[in-house]
């Protein structure tokens, strides 16, 4: 991915064939069960894989992490027929998936979503829209949270939609600061008819399914931040060695040496925190959700700071698109916003502490 990262960003290319090559290595359903084509690996394995891939292209890896989350949701909460219908083609990345929770009027307050699904016989009729959907319009399968009951989280169900269903359409492609190797669009439902057989779990279980998916998603996106920060530390290290000012390499400057040491230390601290949360989630520990929130908060904040400091070390060169460090800065800025903003992560942690 690394040789193509800049081109995919500049030309806004969704690198389908490259991702299918990744799927041949087992990266299309990393923590999905093997009987439907998954790799059956652990959350810890997944974190290591996404960090490594993210050093090559953070934006593409971040999309792959969302795809993996969607496949896991179908694998975990779907019945046997749904698992066998959807998972094999998603694990091979013959088909791609999108996660549809956020709406124009409900971001952090996800439980207030308005997209409605009215039951009519053996179908649901969907009306509403979703915002900021990664892959929207280019992907094939949409895991959609919608309201089948009353207000609040208990009225939300989870439906799996397929591209081409009547009443399913998409907004314009959004113009973004980063994450340009994946398209982002609104997903629109206008009397969209979906078979009841496409519902994951029971009616009213959707919000719980969405949040369980996001626990893993938070580790995944934090792992993508680790990869970007790791790559940025290496780029800064190289630049300090090569660039000369005041008659000697920047690497001889003790201030910059100390900053580099701090960057490497913060990266390691963030990595250990993410890996610890991944193990907790894998083991089903009671504190897994709060550890995932802590890891996402800490790693995405710290890693953005590391990438930004690496850009500063490059001086004016860091602001040129010829140098990869600026793309890592642009691509991971959004990690502090999505999969639950870092403000919401603080709310989750604080609530856990105060409820004691």
Are 68 and 30 in contact by the 8 Å Cβ rule? The answer is yes
Look at the block and give the residue holding tokens 């314009």: 172
Percentages (nearest 5) of helix, strand, coil residues in the chain: 55, 15, 25
DSSP classification of residue 319: G
Q: Domains for the chain: give ranges and CATH numbers.
A: 2-96 (1.10.540.10), 98-201 (2.40.110.10), 207-355 (1.20.140.10)
Alpha-carbon gap, residue 39 to 23, rounded angstroms: 10
Dihedral-angle region of residue 179 (phi above 0 means left; psi in -120 to 50 means alpha; beta otherwise): left
Give the Cα separation of 67 and 19 in Å (integer): 11
Q: For residue 315, what are its two tokens? A: 């001086």
Catalytic option among 51, 103, 302, 339: 339
- Active-site residue, 248 included: no
- Phi, psi (deg, nearest 5) at residue 13: -95, 130
- For each successive 10 residues of the chain (356 residues), what is the average pLDDT? 98 98 98 98 98 98 98 98 98 98 95 97 98 98 98 97 98 98 98 98 98 97 98 98 98 98 98 98 97 98 98 98 98 97 98 90
E strands, the chain, in order:
97-100, 116-120, 123-134, 141-147, 156-162, 168-170, 184-195, 199-200, 244-245, 248-249
What pLDDT sits at residue 356? 66
- Backbone φ, ψ for residue 312 (5° rounding): -60, -40
């Amino acid at each position: 991915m690394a040789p193509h990262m800049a081109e995919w960003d500049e030309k806004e290319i969704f690198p389908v064939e490259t991702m299918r090559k990744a799927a041949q290595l087992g990266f299309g359903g990393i923590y999905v069960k093997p009987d439907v084509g998954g790799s059956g690996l652990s959350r810890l394995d997944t974190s290591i894989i996404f960090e490594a891939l993210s050093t090559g292209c953070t934006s593409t890896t971040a999309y792959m992490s969302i795809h993996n989350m969607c496949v896991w949701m179908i694998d975990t909460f779907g019945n046997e027929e749904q698992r066998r219908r959807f998972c094999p083609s998603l694990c091979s990345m013959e088909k791609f998936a999108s996660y549809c929770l956020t709406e124009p009027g409900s971001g952090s307050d996800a439980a207030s979503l308005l997209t409605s699904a009215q039951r009519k016989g053996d179908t649901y009729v969907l009306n509403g829209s979703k915002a900021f959907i990664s892959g929207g319009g280019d992907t094939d399968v949409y895991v959609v949270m919608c309201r089948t009951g009353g207000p609040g989280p208990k009225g939300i169900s989870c439906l799996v939609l397929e591209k081409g269903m009547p009443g399913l359409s998409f907004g314009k492609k959004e113009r973004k600061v980063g994450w340009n190797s994946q398209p982002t669009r609104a997903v629109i439902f206008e009397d969209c008819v979906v078979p009841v057989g496409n519902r994951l779990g029971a009616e009213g279980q959707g919000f719980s399914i969405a949040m369980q998916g996001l626990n893993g998603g938070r580790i995944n996106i934090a792992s993508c931040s680790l990869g970007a920060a790791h790559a940025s530390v290496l780029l800064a290290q190289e630049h300090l060695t090569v660039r000369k000012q005041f008659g000697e390499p920047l690497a001889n400057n003790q201030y910059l040496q100390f900053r580099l040491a701090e960057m490497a230390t913060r990266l390691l601290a963030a990595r250990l925190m993410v890996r610890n949360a991944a193990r907790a989630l894998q083991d089903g520990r009671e504190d897994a959700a709060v550890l995932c929130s802590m890891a996402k908060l800490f790693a995405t904040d710290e890693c953005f700071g590391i990438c930004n400091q690496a850009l500063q070390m490059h001086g004016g060169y860091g602001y040129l698109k010829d140098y990869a460090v600026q793309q890592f800065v642009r691509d991971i800025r959004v990690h502090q916003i999505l999969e639950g903003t870092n403000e919401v992560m603080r709310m989750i942690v604080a609530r856990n502490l105060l409820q004691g």
